[in-house]
Amino acid sequence: MPDFDDEAATTGLTAIRERPDLTVEFAKQLLTNPVTNASGTISLSSRKAVNLGQFGLLFTKTQGLKARLGNKGQRIWETPSGMLNAIGLPRLSLDDFIALEWPRWLELSQNLNVPVGISFAGESSVQFHDITRKLDRLEGVFALKANFGCPNVKEGLAFGQDPGLTYEAVKAIKEATDKPLVVKLTPNVTNIAEIALAAQEGGADALAAINTILAMDIDIEAGQPVLGNTTGGLSGPAIYPVGLRCVWQITDPKAGFKIPVIGIGGIDCWETAVKYFMAGATLVGIGTANFCDFETAGRVVAGIEDYCAKKGYKSVREIPRAKFPE
């Protein structure tokens, strides 16, 4: 028989056993890793290009009661270190999504062993409630995500920009479901902490921040905005400092925050993901980078694991919150 180095073998097995634990508890369930996607950047067709098994959690694009074609004209525009989009939430009607797409999402979830949540939006608290009642009946939904970051308008005010409307809508949603509710917040406000507290008080189980930043660009030859909708949402690496600031604000226990946060905005590498954990995030969401590099999620997960190993952390949950001044 060939020589067998017991010490080397034991050392190797120990190294395997001692790789950092990347599992995280979210919505009372254990995820294999803390990386998810920003809604709208992954679809059923993405599985042809992206290894969706890289993610610990997936979310569908934002659904709504009625079908939408989306905005006319130019919808996407590249900017320095970022991207403008004014897609306009194109989608099937909710009934068609439930009948045609959700069974395929459920099959995908079961095949990959990756849970899937549904993102949705409404035009009033009543509509949020009605949509939730329909989604609540579906099998296999990990969580619901209420998108308060897109222009949902009631009496001229965006839901995500008014704490009273935020509280009202979240309360209406929670009255219609026992499923975990994530509320996605817009950064286009004066005080995001005020909105986040209203969502928490309304019954939100978690928060997601941030959505895109309202922005625009101009074609100097044509003398007009580059986007057909004039304005759009800025995403990509340029916005991560804003995302970090917002996550830090809405995870401060001294301000009364008690629920977990998904940190989203400009994450295209593991270093930025770690910064979000240090700002207070429990999970991180990858958005625009999914369009640029189909393996971004896998690289981020591997980088987080290596970072934890280098720092001597046995678990990703041991990454400490940054030391912020009092």
269 is catalytic: no
Q: Is 171 annotated as a binding residue?
A: no
- Helix 163-174 and helix 125-136, axial crossing angle in degrees, nearest 10: 30
Q: How many Å apart are CA 37 and CA 40, to the nearest integer?
A: 8
Q: Is 184 annotated as a binding residue?
A: yes
Q: Is 211 annotated as a binding residue?
A: yes
In the beta sheet, which residues pair with residue 283?
A: 262
Q: Is 71 annotated as a binding residue?
A: no
Q: How many Å apart are CA 97 and CA 63, to the nearest integer?
A: 8
Residue 316 to residues 22, 163, 248, 249: CA-CA distances in angstroms?
A: 5, 33, 18, 21
Q: Is 287 annotated as a binding residue?
A: yes
Q: Is 41 annotated as a binding residue?
A: no
Q: Is 236 annotated as a binding residue?
A: yes
Q: Is 132 annotated as a binding residue?
A: no
Q: Is 174 annotated as a binding residue?
A: no
- Helix 240-249 and helix 192-202, axial crossing angle in degrees, nearest 10: 50
Q: Is 266 annotated as a binding residue?
A: yes
Q: Specify the pairing of strand 206-209 against strand 213-215.
A: unpaired
Q: Is 147 annotated as a binding residue?
A: yes
Residue among 150, 246, 269, 308 flagged as catalytic: 150
Exposure of 254 by Cβ count < 10 A (0-12 exposed, 13-18 middle, 19+ buried)? Answer: exposed
Q: Is 145 annotated as a binding residue?
A: no
State both tokens at 150. Answer: 């897109």
DSSP string, 57-102: -EEPPPB-SS-B---SS--EEEETTEEEE-----B--HHHIIIIIH
User: Which residues carry a binding-site annotation for FMN?
Assistant: 39, 61-62, 147, 184, 210, 236, 265-266, 287-288
Give the active site residues.
Answer: 150
Annotated binding site: 39, 61-62, 85-89, 147, 184, 210-212, 236, 265-266, 287-288
Binding residues for substrate: 61, 85-89, 147, 211-212
